[in-house]
């Protein structure tokens, strides 16, 4: 692992700590590396091996952040937007880090699981047209849906403009106006367009799963938490 400067390590791992705050902490003698107080900001360390603590609290090194956000309606999946609030603005300060972005999009009026990360390689793998990471949605419709539609989804539908979709799963539930849909790709407004093509309308759409990771139902809309190690593996095991 390349060596990292201590002030960079601190400001990179502790989002509420700027580079100058880091230098202050060091000057005050509050930082230890492998149990020894270090005051020099340009002290070099191997972030994978060194045990760094601030005021006795050990910092767990994370090369990348993976965040599960329960997106509410009315915010956009973008890093910044001039008019509409973005998913980034919902993050508590301690989760903010340079380079974070939403890996995949939900429409402004859709809700549910959005993955935020600064791991460009993972995002690229998940977003590439060849990636078939399954994403599952809970959908409420205007009109009842029938098994014929499930068959159309299974066969791979053609939607407006002649776009061919990969086979998708549709599981019908409550009064036939609620269902679960699993997609293996992510075309623009895909689920809405698939139901439009069957003369139905999506009234409510919530993403509940990405790959092997299920949206945590203890997260209120607008709340976020870091993914656990086993959940990160649940994202990486798909191609």
Binding-site residue total for ligand URA (CB under 6 A)?
8
Contact range with ligand URA by CB under 6 A, out of 1-9, 54-62, 82-90, 185-193:
185-193
Instruction: Out of 21, 81, 107, 216, pick the active-site residue.
Output: 107
Instruction: Note whether 106 binds ligand URA by CB under 6 A.
Output: yes
Q: Which is nearer to ligand URA, 107 or 216 (CB)?
A: 107
Residue 98 to residue 22: CA distance in whole angstroms: 16
Interaction between residue 103 and ligand URA (CB under 6 A) = no
* Residues 61-100, mask of contacts with ligand URA (x by CB under 6 A): ----------------------------------------
For β-strands 224-226 and 213-214, DSSP reports them as unpaired
Question: Closest approach of Cβ 18 to ligand URA, in Å?
Answer: 35
Tell me how crowded residue 193 is: count the other CB atoms within 10 A of its CB.
17
Instruction: Give the whole-angstrom CA distance, residue 113 versus residue 118.
Output: 17
Choose, by CB under 6 A, the member of 4, 69, 205, 224 that binds ligand URA.
205
107 is an active site residue: yes
**Does 117 help bind ligand URA (rule: CB under 6 A)?**
no
Of the candidate residues 17, 53, 96, 107, the single one contacting ligand URA (CB under 6 A): 107
Q: Which residues contact 164 (CB under 8 A, 6 or more apart)?
A: 156, 157, 158
Nearer to ligand URA, 22 or 205 (CB): 205
110 in contact with ligand URA (CB under 6 A): yes
Q: Is 140 in the site for ligand URA (CB under 6 A)?
A: no
* Interface pick for ligand URA out of 11, 70, 117, 190 (rule CB under 6 A): 190
Question: Site residues (CB under 6 A) for ligand URA?
Answer: 106-107, 110, 189-192, 205
């Amino acid at each position: 692992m390349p060596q990292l400067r201590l002030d960079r390590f601190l400001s990179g791992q502790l989002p509420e700590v700027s580079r100058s705050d880091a230098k202050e902490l060091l000057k005050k003698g509050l930082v230890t590396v492998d149990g020894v107080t270090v005051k020099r900001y340009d002290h070099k360390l191997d972030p994978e091996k060194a045990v760094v603590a601030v005021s006795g609290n050990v910092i767990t090194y994370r090369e990348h952040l993976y965040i599960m956000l329960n997106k509410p309606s009315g915010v956009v999946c973008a890093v910044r937007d001039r008019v509409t609030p973005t998913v980034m603005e919902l993050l508590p300060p301690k989760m903010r880090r340079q380079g974070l972005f939403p890996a995949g999009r939900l429409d402004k009026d859709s809700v549910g699981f959005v993955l935020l990360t600064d791991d460009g390689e993972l995002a690229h793998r998940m977003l590439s047209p060849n990636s078939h990471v399954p994403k599952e949605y809970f959908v409420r419709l205007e009109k009842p849906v029938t098994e014929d539609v499930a068959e159309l989804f299974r066969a791979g539908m053609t939607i407006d403009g002649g776009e061919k979709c990969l086979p998708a799963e549709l599981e019908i539930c409550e009064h036939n106006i609620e269902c679960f849909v699993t997609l293996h790709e992510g075309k623009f407004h895909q689920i809405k367009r698939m139901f439009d093509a069957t003369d139905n309308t999506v009234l409510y759409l919530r993403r509940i799963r990405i790959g092997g990771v299920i949206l945590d139902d203890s997260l209120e809309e607008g709340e976020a938490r870091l993914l656990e190690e086993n959940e990160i593996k649940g994202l990486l095991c798909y191609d």
